């Protein structure tokens, strides 16, 4: 019988089997090494990408002059300017750091920023929408009493993070100072144009004021937005009983602004939709309905209607309005208005929605307003972004009416 000389015994592996096993072992080893290197690269790239998205603070600097205004009580009640005392607030500067970035991370950064600009909404917008209390900013001031001269000194220093009240996305704030319950004698700061973080550094003197009467008063500060063409808009207020303050030396306070007691915080809500048609260069505003409107009439109701103003670069372009709903705090309008807006003018365009109370015998009252643009509040900006991101589709949203 013939037997193949290359045939191995039953327990001995052939050379082919050994060769295949070696190849498989080497392949597995190479795969493991490559996977390890891949994860290492991902970690390094991820670290660079994270560093490239870190935000850098902008320098906040301000200069101001300390001014003194005096008022003599109880007679007169006129504010008198005295010689200004020069002063300057220190500069707060933050160092910017630059890190070398790879071309991959630069590309990711540019794409991410564009996606954030075009996205209908962000987590920050939703967080703002979820807040039950609107942030009205805060104010810094100091107060003290001079026993020898019987003079109460109030210094208005600065405010921070004030809300935008104008359709241009800013405010023109100033402060009124009262000693309640007296509302006849008031003092005012200067108006700071287009400034949401104003520095006043103005000093006010209430002269000839006995200490026994001072401790019976409440220091009341009201921050307002100056409006040249209409009534000034209240931003917020702060009150502090002087009997709870050590007036023997100047005490400095930071206080959060609260909604003004005129009821500006509960004016109702308005449901409206926006529809942008880029091919027709138009925006359709649909005033749908309102709820829980503030009662402006003596009978505990209102006669609401809605005005819609189209603004371009702080100029009024076109106005339209709905019909008036008699004695109704939850009116349903369902009226649409079309405005021609070229695409290149969209970023400088603002739509102002004003809910009014019709009055036959006197001037119509403003119930509340809404400013819709790229530069309005978080809720309004979200609505505007949703409109741009979803062309030719009506985008509806509830808005809180503001003073």
| pLDDT per residue as tens digits for the range 5-63 | 444 445 455 677 677 777 777 777 766 556 554 544 444 444 333 333 333 333 333 33
Q: What is the pLDDT of residue 360?
A: 81
DSSP string, 57-116: PPPB-----BEEEEEETTTT---EE---B---PPPB----------HHHHHHHHHHHHHH
Q: What is the pLDDT of residue 70?
A: 65
| pLDDT of 210 higher than 70 | yes
Mean pLDDT value across residues 193-207: 94
Q: What is the pLDDT of residue 69?
A: 64
Least confident residue range of 87-91, 264-268, 283-287, 384-388: 87-91
Q: What is the pLDDT of residue 240?
A: 92
C-alpha torsion 302→306→311→314, nearest 10: 0
Identify which of 123-127, 179-183, 203-207, 361-365 has the greatest average pLDDT. 203-207
Q: What is the pLDDT of residue 24?
A: 79
pLDDT band at 68 (very low <50, low <70, confident <90, very high): low
pLDDT tens digit sequence for 279-328: 999 999 999 999 999 888 777 889 999 999 999 887 889 999 999 999 99
Q: What is the pLDDT of residue 81?
A: 37
Portion of the chain with pLDDT greater than 70, in percent: 67
Q: What is the pLDDT of residue 234?
A: 84
Fill in the DSSP letter of residue 349: E
| pLDDT of 197 higher than 70 | yes
Q: What is the pLDDT of residue 73?
A: 57
Cα distances from 291 to residues 265, 296, 330, 401, in angstroms, run 14, 14, 4, 10
A 10 A CB-CB count for 366 gives 18
pLDDT tens digit sequence for 168-185: 778 899 999 999 888 777
Least confident residue range of 1-5, 134-138, 283-287: 1-5
Q: What is the pLDDT of residue 229?
A: 64
pLDDT tens digit sequence for 331-352: 999 999 999 998 888 888 999 9
pLDDT tens digit sequence for 82-130: 434 444 333 333 333 333 333 333 433 433 333 333 333 333 333 333 3
Query: What burial letters (b/e) apply to 49-68, b meaning 16+ CB within 10 Å?
Result: beeeeeeeeeeeeeebebbb
Q: What is the pLDDT of residue 55?
A: 35
CA distance 19 to 5: 20
Angle at 152 between CA 146 and CA 155, to 5 degrees: 110
Global confidence as pTM: 0.44
pLDDT band at 394 (very low <50, low <70, confident <90, very high): very high
């Amino acid at each position: 019988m013939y037997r193949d000389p290359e045939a191995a015994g039953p327990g001995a592996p052939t050379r082919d089997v050994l060769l295949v096993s070696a190849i498989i072992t080497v392949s597995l080893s190479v795969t493991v090494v490559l996977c390890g290197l891949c994860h290492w690269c991902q970690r390094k790239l991820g670290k660079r990408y994270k560093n490239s998205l870190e935000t850098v603070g902008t320098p906040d600097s301000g200069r101001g002059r300390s001014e003194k205004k005096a008022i003599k009580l109880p007679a007169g009640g006129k504010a008198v300017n005295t010689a200004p005392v020069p002063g300057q607030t220190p500069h707060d500067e933050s160092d910017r750091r630059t890190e070398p970035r790879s071309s991959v991370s630069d590309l990711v950064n540019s794409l991410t920023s564009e996606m954030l600009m075009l996205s209908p909404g962000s987590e920050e917008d939703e967080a703002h929408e979820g807040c039950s209390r609107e942030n009205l900013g805060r104010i810094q001031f100091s107060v003290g009493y001079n026993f020898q001269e019987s003079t109460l000194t109030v210094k208005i220093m600065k405010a921070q993070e004030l809300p935008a009240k104008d359709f241009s996305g800013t405010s023109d704030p100033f402060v009124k100072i009262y000693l309640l319950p007296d509302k006849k004698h008031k003092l005012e700061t200067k108006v700071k144009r287009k400034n949401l973080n104003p520095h006043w550094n103005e000093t006010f003197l209430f002269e000839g004021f006995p200490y026994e009467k001072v401790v019976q008063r409440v220091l009341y500060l009201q921050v307002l937005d100056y409006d040249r063409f209409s009534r000034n808009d209240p931003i917020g207020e702060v009150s502090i009983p002087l009997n709870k303050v050590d007036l023997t030396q100047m005490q400095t306070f930071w206080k959060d602004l609260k909604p003004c007691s005129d009821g500006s915080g509960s004016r109702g809500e308005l449901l409206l939709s926006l529809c942008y048609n880029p091919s027709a260069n138009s925006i359709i505003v649909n005033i749908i309905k309102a709820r829980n409107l503030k009662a402006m009439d003596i009978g505990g109701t209102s006669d609401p209607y809605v005005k819609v103003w189209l603004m371009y670069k702080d100029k009024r372009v076109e106005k339209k309005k709905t019909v008036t709903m008699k004695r109704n705090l939850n009116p349903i309008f369902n009226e649409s208005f079309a405005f021609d807006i070229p695409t290149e003018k969209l970023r400088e365009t603002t739509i102002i929605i004003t809910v009014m109370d019709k009055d036959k015998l006197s001037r119509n009252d403003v119930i509340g307003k809404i400013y819709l643009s790229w530069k309005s509040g978080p809720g309004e900006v979200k609505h505007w972004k949703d409109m741009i991101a979803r062309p030719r589709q009506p985008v509806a949203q509830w808005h809180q009416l503001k003073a």
